[in-house]
Amino acid sequence: MYGIKRQMLFNVLKALDVALAGLCLFLATAVTNISGDFSNMRELMAMRITFNNAVIMFFLGFSWHFIFTQTGVYSSRRLSTLLSETWDLIKGVSAISVVLLVVQIVYPMKIINLQTIEFFWLFSTIVLTADRVVVRLALSLVRKKGRNIRNILIVGSNARAVKYARKFSKHHSFGFQVAGFVDSAWHGPRREGAEWCKLVADFTTFPDYIRHNVIDEVFVFLPLKSSYAAVSKIIEASEEQGVTVRMALDFFDLRLAQGRVETLEEEPLLTLYTGAMRNKTIVLKEIADRLFAGALLLALLPVFAGVALAVKLDSPGPVFFRQKRIGRNKRHFMMWKFRTMVHDAEARLKDLEHLNEMGRDSGAFKIKNDPRVTCVGRILRKYSLDELPQIINVFKGDMSFVGPRPLTERDFKAFKRHSQVRRFSVKPGITCLWQIGGRSDVSFNRWMDLDMQYIDEWSLLLDFKILLKTIPAVFIGQGAC
């Protein structure tokens, strides 16, 4: 019954979100189109619902539901903070605003422009955040009156168990009421927080206790290595009686990896992953990459044609340079660039190895005033125009706009430390922290450190900052060679 009520609440919340989003889009359109004589307002109100408009609205509605589900907005927020939920809302609204921008580029609508989308983002963020604040306040008031409360047992009486129990008791918004602790009786010196703990059962009497008392959930905080048998019995008894069990995932002493539980054909799996780019938000990065890449390819066709003509007239050889590079999880792909070197540049590489300014033991080859670079190629490299065809790789899904630069097999084989290989755990990108931090002026080891920093600290906001900083770095030709 509880699950049915919760699903009903989520469905109501989804319907309310869609209605509020529609209202925000209407208000944003009105604010940016209404003139003093209200003629545009009459045009807006008289707008007919055509088949194309209906398809666009359906697509936006589907995108809204998909994006908000992927960002966790429609998952249970009982254990999350308002700040966390607000951040998920901002990510969701930002993503749907990007989708709306791309729709406007592909299928221009007279009453919607860039300013409309900006107001839509602002209105939606404010309105939906206010809506969540009201929902949380309502739930908090309900829970203070003893409703929507879950009775829980804390298995274990160690310092970690006591810490979580105090959190649950302090924050009424969680809606948890600690019924007591389950542990074996102890003798001798009192444990930390023992005066606050109330042992209601031990591992033997636990099944009888949850059978005769109202218990909704069980939180297990026992050390897995030394208490495996006890934990197994607790889970087995809880499963037998249909009681939810929650466990902390810090079973192992992990330095970088994080854990989450996933399912494989309804079989639970504990997944350990390294880096911030493995959470659900990565879906938004994937969507934004594909949408922006498609739009940019259309918009930059004249630039592509001009650069291609200049390359062809400057020196003999193909317009594009295609080379096998190492992508995510060390899978190979063909990377596209405008050709900036003479056609036999690869064959002449061995003669220049001793001039490598990144160091002979590094995993990259860079020299200033490379004699293989053509006249047009030097200009293209200085302003990174040779990288434009990589938008094709982004559209295909081989690369991202932001990520560690793709390396060749030769560069990879020159790696000296296993830890540097972690840069291949994410998609390579057109620009990165190295690109805005000096490019060729940065040492190889510092370059690798910047890649690790990006992987560990990744967020959509960090991508946005890197993209903004890339523009001036490219225009001034910072560190280019």
Average pLDDT over residues 169-194: 70
Q: Is the pTM of this model over 0.85?
A: no
d(CA 358, CA 442): 9
- Long-range contacts, stretch 266-273, CB < 8 angstroms, 24+ apart: none
Q: Check residue 242 and give left, alpha or beta (phi > 0: left; psi -120 to 50: alpha).
A: left
Average pLDDT over residues 206-231: 86
Q: How far is CA 145 from the centre of its chain?
A: 38
Reported as a pLDDT band with limits 50, 70 and 90, residue 49 is low
Count of beta carbons in the 10 Å neighbourhood of residue 448: 23
What pLDDT shows up at residue 396? 92
pLDDT of amino acid 402: 94
Under DSSP, the state recorded for 300 is T
Mean local confidence (pLDDT), 365-379: 80
Mean pLDDT to the nearest integer, 405-424: 83
Lookup: tokens for 385 = 């125009």
Q: Which domains does the chain have, with CATH numbers?
A: 2-144 (no CATH), 150-248 (3.40.50.720), 282-475 (no CATH)
Number of other residues whose CB lies within 10 A of the CB of residue 470: 19
Residue 189 has pLDDT above 50, yes or no: no
Q: Do 192 and 159 form a contact (C-beta atoms < 8 A)?
A: yes
pLDDT at 9 over 90: no
pLDDT computed for residue 399 by the predictor: 95
In angstroms, how far is CA 130 from the centroid of its own chain?
A: 24
Q: Are 20 and 127 in contact (CB under 8 A)?
A: yes
